[in-house]
């Protein structure tokens, strides 16, 4: 990850809100979220199912429209109405790896077409060059070039996810959104995919937004982690700082749920349960505050005073 005093912001999310439905059926999935992602880092977004983390990833890549706020990529606003030229550039430079490798691949198409599909929108590419790019992308993810003539159902779950990664890599992106890329895989395959993503990041200088509900996985791969609960970011810090000094009660509850490899410690640990009713925001309203350098937390004045005391202790 870049040094803290020399960080280049690749992508900024500013006051993003996302709503679905209309009238009395209006649902706010993401509420006024803000964060920066630095070039070359792996930024983690963690929360339980339905917290809004995938919705944010899909909004960045322009699948979900934003209700308010801005998404700034390389200094340009990319949400809302943009030019065709910028849209083409965003499509190439930002790619997404989806959660379910079977559902995200066209089962009626061969791997050759699936991997190179994104290339067809950028003008006519000579067939030899297209095939060479497909072979190179497959090789980079540890698959044989001859696999390009097969269909997705002929592969294992881990291989299908590698095909999804190859589909993203062939566009030569700068930024990849990895949405629960290993949750549908066997435990024995997960480490392979995580190591592959880490190797590709080093080789290509990639930047990742890694979305997951598993903090133990996030600790392994992420430089910084943001915690989201019901569409609201509640805490953000460097990974080891978050694990060493979790402040928000929801973050502490998530961390306490991580299984420990030591049976004795696992048996005796205290499991924290998060109760949202403990927050009284009727008068003293919360805000998104930098409680210490690089450590953001959501809370009102009373809670922020308590968090500062926790840090001192």
Q: What is the pLDDT of residue 103?
A: 82
CATH of domain 6-312: 3.40.50.300
Which residues are paired to 277 by β-bridges? none
Question: What are phi and psi for residue 131, nearest 5 degrees?
Answer: -65, -35
Cβ atoms within 10 Å of 15's Cβ, excluding its own: 13
Q: Is the pLDDT of residue 3 over 50?
A: no
Bin 279: left if φ > 0, else alpha if -120 < ψ < 50, else beta: beta
Note whether 177 and 96 are within 8 A (CB): yes
Q: In this predicted model, what pLDDT tens digit does every residue of 79-132 receive, in sequence order? A: 999 999 999 999 999 999 988 777 888 889 999 999 998 887 666 778 889 899
Task: Report the range of poorest mean pLDDT among 71-85, 176-190, 242-256.
Answer: 176-190
| Residue 94 CB-density burial (10 A; 0-12 exposed, 13-18 middle, 19+ buried) | buried
**What's the mean pLDDT when you consider all of the chain?**
91
Rounded-to-5 percentages of helix, strand, coil across the chain:
40, 25, 35
């Amino acid at each position: 990850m870049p040094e803290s005093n020399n960080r280049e912001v690749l992508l900024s999310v500013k006051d993003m809100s996302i709503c679905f439905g209309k009238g009395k059926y209006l649902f706010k999935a993401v509420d006024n979220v803000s964060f920066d992602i630095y070039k070359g880092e792996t930024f983690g977004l963690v929360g339980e199912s339905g917290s809004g983390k995938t919705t944010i990833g899909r909004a960045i890549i322009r699948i979900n429209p934003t209700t308010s706020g801005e998404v700034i990529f390389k200094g340009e606003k990319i949400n809302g109405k943009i030019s065709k030229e910028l849209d083409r550039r965003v499509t190439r430079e930002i790619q997404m790896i989806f959660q379910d490798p079977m559902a995200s691949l066209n089962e009626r198409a061969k791997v050759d077409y699936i991997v190179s599909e994104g290339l067809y929108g950028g003008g006519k590419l000579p067939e030899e060059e297209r095939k060479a790019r497909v072979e190179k992308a497959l090789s980079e993810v540890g698959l044989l070039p001859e696999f390009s003539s097969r269909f997705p159902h002929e592969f294992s779950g881990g291989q299908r996810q590698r095909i999804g990664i190859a589909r993203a890599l062939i566009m030569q992106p700068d930024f990849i959104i990895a949405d629960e890329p290993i949750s549908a895989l066997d435990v024995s395959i997960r480490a392979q995919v995580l190591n592959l993503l880490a190797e590709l990041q080093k080789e290509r200088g990639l930047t990742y937004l890694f979305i997951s509900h598993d903090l133990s996985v996030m600790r392994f791969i992420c430089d910084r982690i943001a915690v989201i609960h019901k569409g609201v970011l509640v805490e953000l810090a460097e990974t080891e700082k978050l694990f060493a000094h979790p402040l928000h009660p929801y973050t502490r509850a998530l961390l306490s749920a991580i299984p420990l490899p030591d049976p004795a410690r696992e048996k005796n640990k205290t499991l924290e349960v998060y109760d949202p009713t403990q927050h009284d925001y009727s008068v003293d309203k919360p805000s998104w505050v930098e409680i210490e350098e690089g450590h953001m937390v959501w809370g009102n004045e009373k809670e922020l005073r308590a968090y500062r005391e926790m840090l001192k202790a």
